[in-house]
Amino acid sequence: MTPSVYYLDSHLQNPMVHEFDLLVQQDIGMGTVASLSYLGALGREFTNFIDTNLDPATVQTTNITFFDPTGSSPILNGTVIPVKTYTHYINSQYQGITDVTSNINTSYNGFVAEVQNHSLHNIQFDIHYTWSHSLDYNQNATATTTVNNWLDPYAAARSNYGNSIYNVPDRLVLYALYNFPNVARKGSPLSFAINGWSLNNSLQIHSGLPYSAAISGTTSSSSISTGWNGTGVTSYIPILGRNTYKYPRHEIDDIRIQKEFIIQDSTKLQLMINAFNIANKQNIDNINTTAYTLTTFGPASGIATYQTSFQSVSSSNNSGFLYTPREVEIAARITF
């Protein structure tokens, strides 16, 4: 079996992040504060993996024809795209000779509008909306190594620039706690029934995470690895871009109804009903991202066949404590 090797680049640096923000607040009365803020972060010299064993002198052109009889493909049926394909290694004793380098930069820009009040007795709330955009040069978040991370390691770094896998443009978060007024006299039998009620609501709505239209197989019978151009990177098709698709919007609405009984001045019993995802919203957490499969017809031509299963849902509300079906919990707590 032909091995792969890795080496640390002579200019490898520790990654770093520069963070900065600007905040403007205004008291609008009754303890309510409105604020506008800008948040920024610049990631510099993140780790990247470049296969330096790919031979650019032996690259050949393969004409890929896109086939889709359904008319649903993002690329028109019959479109022919010439693809630069890697066919040889520089050193045939190894598959990949990977340079572990630090040439990935990232940027995050966010604008936040918020209104909050935590001082009123009967009601407290915090609502904020965030618009943001996260961009990078195809950051690799793996904790291990990969043979090659860039689609074409010899192309300009700018060709890898696009939306981050963490890009969530819109996010709305609302928290509200309402304590119902105590209308019965403290200590009276009626107070045990109608006093001490509260309602707590937490709502999150945000854009789905991005993903790329992927391709499976090889473009040419002469290519040295899988993927669009034989470099082993199969995550996206250049003409469609990187992370240009998004999961459906996610919504999480959790509610708590609570009744408090005062047993003694310092001892309280709290009974509560917690409802998670009360609307039973279907939050998609896995989608089929393979848009095309490749069939080769020799070293110079091939067909990319559209997969009708592209963007089909394979999992929802199945992400641990983050996304679940509607769940109801009944609990009791004593504080003293």
| Band of pLDDT at residue 233, cut at 50, 70 and 90 | confident
User: What's the whole-model pTM score?
Assistant: 0.86
Q: Above 80 in pLDDT, residue 175?
A: yes
Residue spans of alpha helices (H) in 195-240: none
Q: What is the pLDDT of residues 84-119, one digit of tens each?
A: 999 999 999 998 999 999 999 999 999 999 999 988
Place of tokens 């004793």: 93
Q: What is the pLDDT of residue 189?
A: 78
The per-residue pLDDT of the chain, averaged, comes to 92
- Region 273-278: what's the mean pLDDT? 95
Q: Above 80 in pLDDT, residue 168?
A: yes
Count the neighbouring beta carbons within 10 Å of the beta carbon of residue 80: 9
Which has more pLDDT, 229 or 21? 21
Q: Above 80 in pLDDT, residue 83?
A: yes
Q: What is the pLDDT of residues 9-45, one digit of tens each?
A: 999 999 999 999 999 999 999 889 999 999 999 999 9
Tokens found for residue 62: 């393969």
Is residue 218 within 8 Å of 280, Cβ to Cβ? no
Rounded to a whole number of angstroms, the CA Rg of the chain reads: 28
241/223 Cα distance (integer angstroms): 22
74: CB partners within 8 A, 6+ apart:
213, 240, 291
Which sequence spans correspond to the domains of the chain? 1-54+94-117+132-162, 55-88+170-206+208-336
For residue 119, what is the DSSP state?
-
Q: What is the pLDDT of residue 145?
A: 84
Is residue 34 within 8 Å of 28, Cβ to Cβ? yes
Q: Above 80 in pLDDT, residue 141?
A: no
| Band of pLDDT at residue 193, cut at 50, 70 and 90 | confident
Task: Tell me the C-alpha to C-alpha distance, in Å, between residue 21 and each of 37, 42, 109.
Answer: 7, 12, 10
96/148 Cα distance (integer angstroms): 8
**Beta partners for residue 55, in sequence order:** none
Task: Tell me the C-alpha to C-alpha distance, in Å, between residue 93 and each of 40, 54, 96, 144, 224.
Answer: 46, 12, 9, 23, 13
Tokens found for residue 175: 């928290």
Q: What is the pLDDT of residue 101?
A: 95
- Region 194-216: what's the mean pLDDT? 94
Which has more pLDDT, 143 or 332? 332
| Band of pLDDT at residue 5, cut at 50, 70 and 90 | very high
- Region 282-286: what's the mean pLDDT? 93
Burial code of 267-291, b = ≥16 C-beta within 10 A, e = fewer?
eeeeebebbbbbeebebbbebebeb
8/151 Cα distance (integer angstroms): 20
Q: Above 90 in pLDDT, residue 69?
A: no
- Region 203-215: what's the mean pLDDT? 95
Which has more pLDDT, 121 or 66? 66
Helix, strand, coil percentages for the chain (3-state, nearest 5): 5, 50, 45
Tokens found for residue 142: 């793996």
